[in-house]
Structure 1
Amino acid sequence: MYIPKIIVFCLFYCVSAFAYAEPITNIQNTGDSANRVDIVVLGDGYTAGEISSGKYANDVDTAITNIFNQEPFKEYKAFFNIHRIDVTSVDSGISKPGSPKNTALDAFYNCANTRRLICLSASGNTTARNIVTNSVDANQQDIQLVIVNDSEYGGSGGFRAVFSTHPAASDIALHELGHSFGRLADEYSLGTCTTTLEPSEVNVTLQTQRNLIKWNASGGPPNGWIEFDTQIPTTGNTSTLIPGLYIGGKYCTSGVYRATYDSKMRSLNRPFNQIGQEQLIKRIYNIVSPIDRVTPLTTTLVLREGESRTFSVISPVIDAGNRSFTTTWDIDGEIVGSGTDFTVLNQNQYADGLHTLKVVVHDPTPKIRNHTAPEESTESFKWEIDFQSIITEIVSPANNSQFTASAVTFKWTIASDATTAWLYVGSRLGGQDILNSRIGINTTAYILANLPEDGQVIYVRFWTRQAGAWSFVDYNYIANSPPT
């Protein structure tokens, strides 16, 4: 039997492309992944029974809780979505020297002959990549974590942070998130040291001049983190989180300086220091806008005199006690309101034409001192509103139309600043042989009966008095001409 080549190709390719998709559980979903930092968690060394019993889910929940109990992740937890992928292994646990295991991601202790260093093999990394690619969307892969089913302390970093179920091992994940997500450098002094180039990371430097230290913008507060009376370089101050210029960092014992005496990027079980937290928050705002959505979505609107329209903005939630986003509204650069909702009422306070309404949402966090432009924690949205005042005009019947009866209802609008209105109807331009009537300024219609029905031209002149001056608009109509 002949089998087309395309079918043969699909039988091979389609299976290989989709074979690694696994069941997913959304642990936390706070908003559209297009405006969230998405964490995807995979497990290794969990059997089908351990997944169905809930052990894997419990281990992941415990690790996530530990991670989000620490700042700045605690404060910005609602800026994250978290997805758990159920990866099934043949064996429970992961490989150790003398005790190999058959696991989905081939994780193992004693990586690089370091007992507590847990790595995935090259094939395991490929499997992990394929599982993530085929299980979640591209915008749901901002951070990848791998938890291994072993209680011995251990872990490693890189693109995917790997850590065990040991209660303290999630701190390894946090340290590695400082690298992979926060782009922070190690601050300890063990490793290969180089002092030839200024490090790219924000938490280490070669500079010793106060105003050139990258975490000390403008030479000190309020933009920089080092107090003016703090010695540079900083010695004798072993308090963990007092910013200064401490010798040693990025694997060097000298020549490279770090921001605080100790921090999570130097030692586990320490908090991120001020510079680390600032950088992590900036990285969050690189992905997450302070504006989740606005209404209306239409950015160009017409607002006629007397009409109103309510505009609103929704933002993620910050878990910071009394601090939340500040929201301000301005029209053409002039502040007109605050809060998440604002109503625009056209009372002829703006000239006819386009005016710009802008909402600005800002996180006034004290944890960011050195803002770049535009500020990472600020976002704005604009609408163009066409303000239209009511003008004096006959709106019905349409100009140059023909009447269909001897009685016609004229309808009109009158400008808000008009004080008097007058209606002429005649058989010649400007004539008033059919009607000469003063119109009540609040009247919007007039029924005129006994009009000619001979097909002649009927002339209407609509007068108004505004700002002490009379003006008029002329209209022409054709009288009704019934068949004979």
Structure 2
Amino acid sequence: MPSGKPGRFVPSATALVLLSAAALPAALELAGPAPSSVIGPPAEPLVDRAAPPGAAAPADLRAPGTAPTVDLKLSGDPANRITLVLLGDGYTDSQQGLYREQADRAWRALMEIEPFRTYQGFFNIRRVDVVSTVPGIAETEPDAGSGAPSTPLGMHFWCEGTARLLCADEDATARLAGAGDGPQYLIALANSTEYGGAGGTGVTTLAGGSPDAGRIIQHEIGHTIGDLGDEYDSAPEDSDYPNLAEVDAEEMRRTRVKWWRWLDAPSPDGGSPIGAYRSTNGLYRPTEDSVMRTLGGVYNLPSREAILEQIYRRVKPMDTPSPPPGEVPGRPKLQVNPLRLTGQRQLQVDWTVDGRPVEPTSPDRTWLDTALLAIEPGRRVTVTATVRDTTDWLRDEEFRDRYMTRTVSWTVAG
């Protein structure tokens, strides 16, 4: 059955285009463009029910951050978390329940795939309830002189002439999302059952009503957060991505480029090991298959590493310690606040006193009671705590030392 294919979009003449291909029984192969392909049955007309008496009119959407917002998941301080901001386009007042349901499915689907599953504590999730006066979105790209779009985010298919390339007005989306206290990624859901999306720009898009919306967002976020390229055979001949290369495995080892550290490692999907698999466009990819090639797959190890590196460029491995680092009076309890992982493994916490390792007081290793330290009267010691992510999904130890490790110190007097 013919299908659409989401992929990467950048606002330039050399945009990596996203949509096409043939559907496989268990997954959707991402290949070259097919102008009018869709997944599943044709979309039924969107019918807007009349708003109940006394229903609130849509808010004035011209001012920044004026639409109502709801925090769906608060993992911690927004200044040290990545906030995923979900916004809907083409959902009328009476369709807000539909939007909430589709938005909830989308972010939960993202948190089902690694590395997002393990690192979901590094993310806050916020929903912005944007009310449209008309149901659905534009099926064609608006004419340049057509004036303001009919929906608040201006979402439309046929972006830059590609059938399932789904674009949004980035300025309008950013304005409605509002300024956050830390890094944000914007995700725009279109009120459509068509198959489409885009990633790699300021706004990640997907058709909220598509049966494959969850798999679409898993693919598109790879572009946006990990700066990953599409790995399908018809992807543009551009190797400027961490998961695409112009050289084979032998050359990678010799020159130590791209994913050379991962060569011969087992693939997370149980397939052939990490290598350099040549596509028909001449570029090499790390594995025979992945979510950047076939929807429903997994991120291969070089792609997981790339995503983690981008996350850690924006998020520190621990929140503010207590008390603040420096000289502290008395013999207080010193505590660090490493970000929490989902699963048994947690960030490693080590303590030293004047450079000598000591065991912390708490079972989770996050605090140490200095009253229990044997410090001679009049002597001053330096207590140091180091938080480090020891994940084996990263093999660049220089990056681990720089971004995934944080050390704080206190001076305590006897």
TM over 0.5: yes
Q: Distance in 2 between matches of 1:17 and 1:147?
A: 19
Count of matched residue positions in the alignment of Structure 1 and Structure 2: 338
Q: Distance in 1 between matches of 2:114 and 2:139?
A: 33
Structure 2's unaligned 5+ residue stretches are: 1-59, 144-148
Determine which structure has more spread, i.e. the larger CA radius of gyration: 1
Matches within 5 A, 1:197-276: 199-208=239-248, 209=251, 210-217=253-260, 224-227=261-264, 240=271, 242-248=273-279, 253-254=281-282, 256-276=283-303
Task: Tell me what 2:356 maps to.
Answer: 334
Displacement of 1:302 after TM fit? 4.2
Q: Is the 8 A contact 2:92 2:134 kept in 1?
A: yes
Displacement of 1:271 after TM fit? 0.8
Give the one of 69, 91, 116 matched to 2:112.
69
Task: Tell me what 1:344 maps to.
Answer: 370
Q: Distance in 1 between matches of 2:226 and 2:128?
A: 24
- Is 1:359 aligned to residue 373 of structure 2? no
Task: Tell me what 1:171 maps to.
Answer: 215
C-alpha distance 263-347 of structure 1, shift in aligned 2 (>3 A): closer
Task: Tell me what 2:73 maps to.
Answer: 28
Matches within 5 A, 1:23-422: 23-51=68-96, 54-96=97-139, 102-120=150-168, 124-132=169-177, 135-139=178-182, 141-157=183-199, 158-164=201-207, 165-193=209-237, 199-208=239-248, 209=251, 210-217=253-260, 224-227=261-264, 240=271, 242-248=273-279, 253-254=281-282, 256-297=283-324, 299-303=326-330, 308-320=331-343, 322-338=344-360, 339-345=365-371, 349=375, 352-373=378-399, 374-385=401-412, 387-388=413-414
The code of the aligned residue for 1:25 comes to V
SS in 2 for 1:263: coil
Q: Distance in 1 between matches of 2:373 and 2:153?
A: 67
Matches within 5 A, 1:454-465: none
C-alpha distance 187-383 of structure 1, shift in aligned 2 (>3 A): same
Percent identity of equivalent pairs: 27
Displacement of 1:172 after TM fit? 2.6
The code of the aligned residue for 1:318 comes to L
Q: Distance in 2 between matches of 1:16 and 1:367?
A: 42
The range that moved more, 144-153 or 156-165, is: 156-165
Q: Distance in 2 between matches of 1:16 and 1:215?
A: 44
Q: Distance in 1 between matches of 2:386 and 2:141?
A: 61
The code of the aligned residue for 2:353 comes to I
Displacement of 1:277 after TM fit? 0.9
Q: Distance in 1 between matches of 2:307 and 2:141?
A: 40
C-alpha distance 108-354 of structure 1, shift in aligned 2 (>3 A): same
TM-score normalised by structure 2 residue count: 0.74
Structure 1's unaligned 5+ residue stretches are: 1-14, 218-223, 231-237, 389-484
Larger relative strand fraction = 1
Q: Is the 8 A contact 1:20 1:127 kept in 2?
A: no
Displacement of 1:30 after TM fit? 1.1
Task: Tell me what 1:11 maps to.
Answer: none
RMSD: 2.9
Higher-RCO chain (CA-CA 8 Å, sequence separation at least 6):
2
Q: Is the 8 A contact 1:240 1:261 kept in 2?
A: yes
